[in-house]
């Protein structure tokens, strides 16, 4: 895969894109079959790639420079993320793998100096793993205000009890950031009832029940956790009490843009594989590229990718300008994963049985696209948000023009 400088972008952004593409295309993609293996040589290959990224100054692009990152800002990272998505192995090589990256951002904004020293620094260095525990099996993930895991003050401690699942990266993590209810329903500010609290995973009462099977994989990265009277110091709270909901929104809003640019990058690779397959594969007396069905696939996929990319970049520009991007975030969150689902589905169809095998990245992309229609809020909730925001503007005498 190749990229060229974009004339409308500044030199720094184009340079970052080109440097990122060189590593991903020439060093990560050719080594994917080694990186996915679990043999004795795998750690060495990972370490070499990570060292290359650090030497070129591309490590942790989501973080400010004072915390070991690139400090490139939101929009530049969005462009970079599009290229990282060419390979499922790029993000860990560049030090930007969820949930660690999201936890790092929350620690940067809400953490005390002591919390940053103890948890953030080793997390950025890659010597520690972390978990994010928010979702609960008995409460709808689309309504975070309904979460029931409770943290109660007892002297100088929080005592936490609750049931979490789909908690990312719990196995092997040193600590979890746990979304807890710290106020009861008598608090009229429904958004102020939640607090995020750091819970070391070796705390008595922190029970990792299992890794939840996802898409047929018996041991995934999403865990079920039961917290039974976990006792941690009051100073383990991130930010002031009641700031948990806002911290989650800070995390998810930016994350949705990155997810969508990641989708765009995956679509480009699926598109690249599909077009090359259509040129090389001969069936029924000629190459696939001559079949009108396949030409339709190519045209429709190109339109899906370009529409997704422009929508996402526009949303990133609105956020970079400090404007209200909530409607646009919901719009891309619905449109882009669905577009990715269509693009990857067409690519699989062109590849035939090869497309559903592990010999191409397409089957993994397909599963990921379907998951994103639920993760970070289901499509139905985001559609409601879009409609409510549009109607609110019209009732206020405004129009559909949301800014940029």
Q: What is the DSSP letter of 402?
A: -
User: 267 to each of 345, 346, 356, how far by Cα in Å?
Assistant: 10, 11, 16
Q: What does the pLDDT read at residue 188?
A: 65
- Which phi and psi angles does 14 have, rounded to 5°? -65, -40
d(CA 358, CA 319): 37
Q: What does the pLDDT read at residue 401?
A: 66
d(CA 133, CA 135): 6
User: Can you say how many angstroms the Cα of residue 86 is from the centroid of all Cα atoms in its chain?
Assistant: 14
Q: What does the pLDDT read at residue 196?
A: 95
d(CA 208, CA 169): 11
**Which residue in the block uniquely carries the two structure tokens 């710290």?**
182
Tens digits of per-residue pLDDT, 290-322? Answer: 999 999 999 999 999 999 999 999 999 998 888
Instruction: List, for the chain, all residue ranges whose pLDDT scores fall below the cut of 70.
Output: 186-188, 190, 218-220, 401-404
Q: What does the pLDDT read at residue 340?
A: 97
- Token couple for 36: 């996915």
- Residues 368, 105, 377: CA angle, nearest 5 degrees: 40
Q: Which domains does the chain have, with CATH numbers?
A: 11-98 (1.10.540.10), 130-238 (2.40.110.10), 246-395 (1.20.140.10)
Q: What does the pLDDT read at residue 216?
A: 74
Q: What does the pLDDT read at residue 285?
A: 86
Q: What does the pLDDT read at residue 357?
A: 93
Map residue 365 onto helix, strand or coil: helix
- Residues 339, 344, 346: CA angle, nearest 5 degrees: 100
Q: What does the pLDDT read at residue 403?
A: 53
């Amino acid at each position: 895969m190749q990229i060229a400088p974009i004339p409308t972008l500044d030199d720094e952004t184009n340079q970052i894109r080109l440097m990122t593409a060189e590593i991903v295309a020439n060093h990560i993609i050719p080594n994917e079959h080694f990186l996915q293996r679990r043999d004795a040589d795998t750690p060495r290959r990972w370490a070499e790639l990570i060292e290359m990224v650090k030497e070129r100054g591309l490590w942790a692009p989501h973080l400010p420079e004072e915390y070991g990152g690139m400090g490139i800002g939101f929009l530049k990272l969005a462009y970079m993320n599009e290229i990282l998505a060419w390979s499922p192995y790029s993000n860990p090589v560049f030090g930007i793998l969820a949930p660690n990256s999201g936890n790092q951002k929350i620690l940067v904004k809400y953490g005390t100096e002591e919390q940053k020293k103890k948890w953030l620094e080793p997390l950025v260095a890659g010597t520690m793993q972390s978990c994010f525990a928010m979702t609960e099996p008995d409460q709808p993930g689309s309504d975070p205000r309904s979460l029931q895991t409770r943290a109660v003050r007892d002297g100088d401690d929080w005592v936490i009890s609750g049931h979490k699942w789909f908690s990312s990266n719990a196995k092997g993590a040193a600590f979890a950031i746990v979304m807890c209810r710290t106020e009861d329903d008598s608090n009229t500010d429904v958004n102020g009832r939640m607090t995020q609290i750091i819970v070391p995973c070796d705390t008595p009462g922190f029970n990792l029940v299992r890794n939840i099977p996802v898409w047929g994989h018996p041991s995934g990265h999403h865990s079920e956790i039961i917290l039974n009277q976990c006792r941690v110091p009051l100073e383990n709270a991130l930010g002031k009490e009641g700031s948990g909901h806002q911290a989650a929104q800070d995390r998810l809003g930016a994350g949705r843009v990155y997810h969508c640019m990641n989708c765009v990058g995956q679509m480009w690779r699926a598109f690249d594989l599909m077009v090359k397959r259509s040129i090389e594969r001969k069936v029924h007396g000629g190459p696939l590229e001559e079949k009108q069905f396949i030409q339709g696939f190519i045209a429709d996929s190109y339109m899906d990718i370009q529409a997704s990319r422009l929508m996402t970049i526009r949303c990133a520009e609105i956020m970079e300008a400090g404007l209200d991007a909530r409607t646009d975030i919901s719009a891309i969150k619905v449109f882009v994963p669905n577009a990715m689902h269509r693009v990857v589905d067409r690519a699989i169809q062109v590849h035939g049985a090869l497309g559903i095998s592990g010999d191409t990245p397409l089957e993994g992309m397909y599963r990921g696209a379907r998951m994103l229609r639920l993760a970070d809020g289901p499509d139905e909730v985001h559609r409601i948000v879009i409609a409510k925001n549009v109607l609110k503007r019209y009732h206020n005498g405004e129009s559909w023009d949301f800014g940029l």
